[in-house]
Amino acid sequence: MIKDLTTILDLSAADVSQLLHSAFRFKELHERGVRREPSLDGRVVSMIFEKPSLRTKVAFEVAATYLGATPVFLTSEQILASGQQERGRESVVDIARNLERMSDLLVARVYSHTTIRTLAETVRIPVVNALCDQHHPTQALADLMTMQWHKGRLCGLTVSYVGDGNNVATSLLQACAMMGVHFRIASPPGYEIPRAEVQRAQQLAAESKSELSFVSDPRQAVKDADVVYTDTFVSMGQEKEKEQRLASFKGYQVTSTLLGQAKKDVIFMHCLPAHRGEEVTDEVMDGPHSVVFDQAECRLHIAKAILSGLLREYHHECARPKG
């Protein structure tokens, strides 16, 4: 098991399989009504959030409590300076060094991936990226768990993503490429997944035999897919671009008609929050193919697996020295 989870690329396929196995064990315990497994009793999980959150915040707080750890939630108004030496604020480095002395693991939901890298490079304790502008690895792991839950396998599935080549799409692409899942994405010109991230995924796909496809026509992407996935067209921090983005993504809404191009037993996924009437219709969100709330539940089980795996490994082997 790795020490930090900053991107999906920190993991190997074996690491992902191990995390999924652990998450399904936690799911089984959850279904049996087991609400405590205090294997991390006495540990402290500090959660530093620059961005608002529902699923990520609750998932990690509940997961830490379930495992016997103490979650400490800190918003940007309380601590983070986003790397800027603002009056009355501390630098990210100084904040990290303080939290390292009082915590066993950091979970960070931030605007910039630079902040994630700075945290991981500064402290010896594990750092988990709970979302940044470029990556969302914990979401991608929950997505894989959802697919395995409903399809019984990962390798050989075809996932079609319709929409913006954002942080969610990037991490999902790389997770699928790593695990032998075929991945297609339909995005309008100018909104594709960054080329450097695509190249990293292609290297993984060459090993796993995953097929990757990048198109502009949603119907082409969705044809005979096992999974259809979308996300908001306007992410946090992009509100000023809303009108332009909605115009660019006209024709990319996941409707029942578009979903009908996929396999009959297709599942529909969305990382939430959903902007109903924009990227997806109510009919699809609330329809028989939708597994979006199972997908949200998987965030909890994955959070337990991540905290349990990283903290046990870290305290067993100790962290590598930091420069």
What are the residue numbers of the active site? 109, 136, 139, 231, 271, 299
For 299, residues 6+ apart whose C-beta sits below 8 A from its C-beta are 55, 56, 59, 138, 139, 142
What is the distance, to the nearest Å, from the Cα of residue 104 to the centroid of all Cα atoms in its chain?
A: 22
> Per the structure block, which two tokens stand in for 95?
């904040």
Triad 94, 98, 103: Cα angle to 5° = 140
Alpha helices by DSSP H, the chain? 13-31, 55-66, 92-102, 113-122, 137-151, 167-179, 195-208, 218-222, 242-248, 256-259, 282-285, 292-317
Q: For residues 313 and 5, give the distance between their C-alpha atoms in angstroms, rounded to a whole number.
A: 13
116 CB burial (10 A radius; 0-12, 13-18, 19+): buried
Identify whether the C-beta of residue 208 lies closer than 8 Å to the C-beta of residue 179. yes
Q: For residues 295 and 221, give the distance between their C-alpha atoms in angstroms, rounded to a whole number.
A: 21
Tell the residue number behind the tokens 């997505």, with chain if given: 143
> What's 240's DSSP letter?
G
Beta-strand pair 212-215/227-230? unpaired
> Per the structure block, which two tokens stand in for 42?
């006495």
Amino acid at 203: Q
Q: For residues 235 and 241, give the distance between their C-alpha atoms in angstroms, rounded to a whole number.
A: 10
Helix/strand number for the chain, H first, E second: 12, 9
